[in-house]
A and B are shown apart, each in its own frame.
Chain A
């Protein structure tokens, strides 16, 4: 079974700082990759996704992620965070041998100080 690791459980940044959240997965075959965000008190919602094509994916609110197949990674980045980015971020992987199942990482809580 595949696993997904998010190495940072808590991240605290000041506004305008750059962000990079790590995500590594264990499956060696074809994967679909996702980042979800959960703002305080709100639904989990999709930030961005990778299915194929350009490994640099741009999502909503200025976020992007880069799929590096050789490193089994899909790190999330934002050049300049805002206070409103305070949320929990989840990386998720769908492996092509897993049907419609997603495997989630443990999540990273981001706090942005104003």
Chain B
């Protein structure tokens, strides 16, 4: 079974703090994704990566950056957290060929005070 893990299930941070969300997958997938999930809005793509050190902006990249130094790890960074970044953050991974589903992690619920 593919396993996607996220470093924290719950996180509380203060406005202006730098926040790191970590995601690790164990299936050697080339593609990894970061989404945020908000009620009524579904999942919105923040960034994705199709290879080590490669990244592409998704639909809502403002206020976020990412890092992929190793194939199995994809980090989401909030340089200066704001209250409107309070959300559930989901990581996903996908093999190179889009003939399969994305595999999702358990999510990190981030609250910014």
Contact = CB atoms under 8 A, between A and B. Distances in A.
Interface string B55-88: 0001100000000000000000000000000000
Chain A contact-residue range equals 20 to 34
Contacts of A34: 101
Contact of A43 (B31, B44, B50, B104): B104
Interface of A: 1, 4, 6, 9, 32, 34, 36, 42-46, 49, 51, 90, 92, 94, 99-107
B59 to A, nearest CB: 8
A102 B107 contact: no
A100 B43 contact: no
B42 A46 contact: no
Given A94-B98, A100-B31, A101-B48, A43 B106 contact: yes
A90 B88 CA distance: 15
Contacts of B107: 43
A90 B45 contact: no
B42 A104 contact: yes
B41 interface: yes
B98 A46 contact: no
Contact of B102 (A4, A99, A102): A102
A99 to B, nearest CB: 8
